[in-house]
Amino acid sequence: MVSRRDRDLLRDDLRQRGTKLSTADREQLLKTYLPNPAELPNRSRASTATSERRKTRKKPIRSFLKSQLHRLVYAVTHIIFGIVVRLLQAYHAVVNRIFAVVYHHHRTPELIRKDVRGLKRLPQHLSTILTLRKEDDALAVLMDEVAELAAWSSCAGIPQLSIYEKTGVLKSCLPALHQIITTKLASYYGTPSQQPSLQLYAPHHPVHGKPASPYSETGSLTILLLSSTDGRETLVDLTKTLAEMSQNGKLSPDDITPELVDAEISEITTQPLAADPAFSETMLKPEPDLLLVFGPFLKLDGYPPWQIRLTEMYCTGIRSHGLNGDGEAVEYQGYMRGLWHFAGAQMRFGR
């Protein structure tokens, strides 16, 4: 830590654009804060002989005690930190339970709508990261989570939802997933006439579902499925194509601009919609406004990098996976907290 006097000196110097102090002055000032040259690890210098002698003269007992002390402090801080984390976890678990009781959707769109009514802004394109668990029924659980998210989003009035799942297993069962989501929507909305129109697709896959009619009052929901191949792999594919074009003389490397890459990358996620004339009305915003991560900490896990430049990220926070086996990661109250956080609001007990 720099002492106050020296700090003020340096600040003064900076204000004068480095003219006040001479080089030697500054070095003199810094000298007290620099580590002893002899303590630097494995650095061979011209003055090795002297430092070598000093090294042998160093007190082994003192350094041993020092390392033991460090080890002890490490253990103690981690124990204290662990206790604090556990306490926080317990606290959040209680708070989450209360929220889960107070804010429950009861599968009623009106209640969900009421929960988001006071919010200043809603994401137009919401994105979530889901993980496939290891149990036997993992896929069924995952699909149910997607369906729940779809139902909440459509009730809250979020028109676009993208689901990232690393392995891409969801993409292989689009029709089944579409069926499950429709069933889930029916359990929320009732008769099909009241349900929003649903479009489900993935890059390089056809669109499932019927297009939204512009006059319907039920709204529409567009769901995009992403996987890790839509991330770096897509950029690599783009590079391959560009390299091939350049080799054939169809393109000069100078033509490659961020705008071109952006257009091409956005195309990947919007292309299936645009290709089908029935869906040309539905435009997907390629960059999500809000990224919800259901997990203990924020890790993107291979999420497509290009699109998240300005995306706000929210992690539902400390979750105890250990308590009830798999732990139901995707919860309504976590989802709501994310939306409230995005709007810059605080959730309170009691609706």
Partner 1 sequence: MAGSMHMSRLRNWFLASPPVEFAITNLKELLIGALQQGPIPQHVAFVMDGNRRFARSHGIETVEGHNLGFEALARILEVCYKSGVKVVTIYAFSIENFKRSKFEVDALMEMAKVKLSQMAQHGDLLDRYGAKVRVLGRLDLLKPDVLAAVNRAVDLTSRNGDRVLNICFPYTSRDEITTAIRDTVEDYSKPIQNTRSAGAASRTPFSESHIAYNIRAQTLGSKTHDTTSDSESTSGSSAQDDDLPTRNDRANHVYESGSSFSSSTTLHHGGQQEPHKGSPQTAPTESDSPVYISPETISRQTLNDRMLTKGTPPLDILIRTSGVERLSDFMLWQTHENTEIVFLDVMWPEFDLWHFLPVMLGWQRRISKSRQDPDAEGNFAGDSPESSEEDLDTMLLRQSGKVKSI
Residues near 303 by beta carbon (within 8 Å), at least 6 away in sequence: 127, 129, 164, 226, 231, 291
Least Å from the CB of residue 147 to partner 1 = 21
Least Å from the CB of residue 144 to partner 1 = 17
Least Å from the CB of residue 91 to partner 1 = 16
Least Å from the CB of residue 260 to partner 1 = 8
The CA distance from 31 to 351, in Å, is: 60
C-alpha radius of gyration, the chain, whole number:
28
Which CB, 30 or 140, lies closer to partner 1? 30
The CA distance from 61 to 17, in Å, is: 47
Residue type, 228: S
Least Å from the CB of residue 289 to partner 1 = 10
Q: What is the DSSP letter of 269?
A: H
Which CB, 179 or 311, lies closer to partner 1? 311
Which CB, 30 or 345, lies closer to partner 1? 30
User: E strand or H helix at 78, and its extent?
Assistant: helix 60-102
Which CB, 33 or 349, lies closer to partner 1? 33
Tell me how far the alpha carbon of residue 349 is from its chain's centroid: 26
Which CB, 48 or 183, lies closer to partner 1? 48
> Do 230 and 304 contact (CB within 8 A), yes or no?
yes
Least Å from the CB of residue 186 to partner 1 = 31
- Three-class DSSP labels, 212-256: CCCCCCCCEEEEEEECHHHCHHHHHHHHHHHHHHHHCCCCCHHHC
Place of tokens 């106050």: 4
Which CB, 161 or 242, lies closer to partner 1? 242
* Other residues' Cβ atoms within 10 Å of the Cβ of residue 251: 16
Which CB, 239 or 280, lies closer to partner 1? 239
Least Å from the CB of residue 221 to partner 1 = 25
